[in-house]
Amino acid sequence: MIDHFGLYVILTNPVIGYEAAAEAAVAEGVKYLQLRIKDSSADDILEIARNIRSITHDSPTKFIMNDDLDIAMAVDADGIHLGQDDLPIKEARLKWPASNKIFGLSTHNASQALEAASKNPDYIGIGPVFATPTKVIPDPVVGLKEMERIIKSAQLTTVAIGGIDQANLPAVLSHGAINFCAVRAIMQSTMPGQIIRQMMELWKGKGKRA
């Protein structure tokens, strides 16, 4: 069954701080909140992850840890998101056999998205749809037309990601995106809750699929 939830928020260098940004996302009812930190020590990331876990605890918001399975397990996150070069999902599930955990997988082209079905993730990210500076070594841009083709052929829940903001979100939705992810548009705002509301209103008005 393909899940329809709209906005998936990734926490990366929020200008108002990780905890405040997480509180804003939870307050707005975001379903998925991922913590992605690349430039801090393991101890610092663990401390932030524990704080985020306490914020999302007993809320509808699912806390997903990026890449680091040990930290995800240590804070009892709701799941983990893995890249193409990270620990394979099959191994991650064996190491973390707790029930009801969520395993996401990044894909960057049609062949990776097709192959993902055999790995049985709970959802796949598709992107980057647009150019984005959030990675030191960026993946090739997918573009709207290829994103649409991948989404239509996928038998999994999909999340469009990469350079998506309020200005280009209508085009992303009109090209078939069911769910989408925003990073900079929210993380660089001093009022992330307001941006989250704006993007979800766009999704509800133009992108929600029955």
pLDDT given for residue 13 in this prediction: 96
CATH class assigned to 7-207: alpha beta
Which of 43, 47, 59, 60 lies closest to 19, judged by CA? 47
Reply yes or no on whether the pLDDT at 192 is more than 90: yes
pLDDT given for residue 132 in this prediction: 82
* String of DSSP letters for 146-194: HHHHHHHH-SS-EEE-SS--TTTHHHHHHTT-SSEEESHHHHT-S-HHH
* pLDDT band, residue 19 (cuts 50/70/90): very high
pLDDT in tens, 36-86: 998 899 999 999 999 999 999 999 999 999 999 999 999 999 999 999 999
Predicted TM-score (pTM) of this structure? 0.93
pLDDT given for residue 38 in this prediction: 86
Q: Where are the domains of the chain?
A: 7-207
Reply yes or no on whether the pLDDT at 154 is more than 80: yes
Instruction: Decide which of 128 and 138 is more confident.
Output: 128
Containing 7, the helix (H) or strand (E) segment is strand 7-11
pLDDT in tens, 133-151: 766 667 889 999 999 999 9
Which of 126, 64, 50, 134 lies closest to 92, judged by CA? 64
Sorted by sequence, the CB contacts under 8 Å of residue 4 that are 6+ apart come out as 178, 179, 208, 209
CA–CA separation, 183 vs 154, rounded Å? 23
* String of DSSP letters for 40-73: S-HHHHHHHHHHHHHHHTTSSPEEEEES-HHHHH
CA–CA separation, 91 vs 112, rounded Å? 18
